[in-house]
Amino acid sequence: MQRRILFVALLAFAATRVNAQDVKLKEEKPGMIARAKVTFDAARATAQAKVPGGKLATAELEQEDGKLIYTLVFKTAGKKGQDEINVDALTGKIVAVEHEDDKEAKKEAKAEEKTEKKATKKGG
């Protein structure tokens, strides 16, 4: 009986580890991960605590307002929009929590895409 319980616990743990790795961290610029003092896993755990029922949708390490931050976006079943949590990559502290409705999220995604295209054209 104890072996069965241990087996089930190990399966549950493995399943959460697989799900946790579905989303890959995107770097705004190469080399940013090397500058971070807080791991992506630690930042994700900190952010997840703010959105316990949420599922990580996107993750990015970027420079924002002079800070190196993880931007983690969560979607929660049954809840409209998405929650964006910013975690300082040097201290591990949450620096911003924002809920965006679907319209705001789409508008922001388009603006970021446009900025990325301009940066690509300048670079190449």
Question: Considering the domain boundaries, does residue 11 fall inside one?
Answer: no
Instruction: Sort 44 into a burial class: Cβ within 10 Å, 0-12 / 13-18 / 19+.
Output: buried
Question: Considering the domain boundaries, does residue 9 fall inside one?
Answer: no
Question: Considering the domain boundaries, does residue 66 fall inside one?
Answer: yes
Q: Which of 12-21, 22-31, 84-93 shows the lowest per-residue confidence on average (mean pLDDT)? A: 12-21
Is-contact 42 59, C-beta < 8 A? no
Residue bearing tokens 């790795």: 21
Question: Considering the domain boundaries, does residue 16 fall inside one?
Answer: no
Please tell me which residue, 117 or 21, carries the higher pLDDT value. 117
Joined together, the tokens standing for residue 19 give 């799900």
* pLDDT at residue 83 greater than cutoff 90: yes
Query: Residue range 10-39: average pLDDT?
Result: 74
Question: Considering the domain boundaries, does residue 6 fall inside one?
Answer: no
Q: What is the total count of domains within the chain?
A: 1
Question: Considering the domain boundaries, does residue 85 fall inside one?
Answer: yes
**Please, what is the average pLDDT of the chain?**
81
Query: Residue range 94-118: average pLDDT?
Result: 77
| Domain around 87 | 25-123
* pLDDT at residue 9 greater than cutoff 50: no
Domain CATH number, residue 79 = 3.10.450.40
Question: Considering the domain boundaries, does residue 17 fall inside one?
Answer: no
* pLDDT at residue 57 greater than cutoff 70: yes
Residue 64, CB-side half-sphere exposure with 13 Å CA sphere: 15
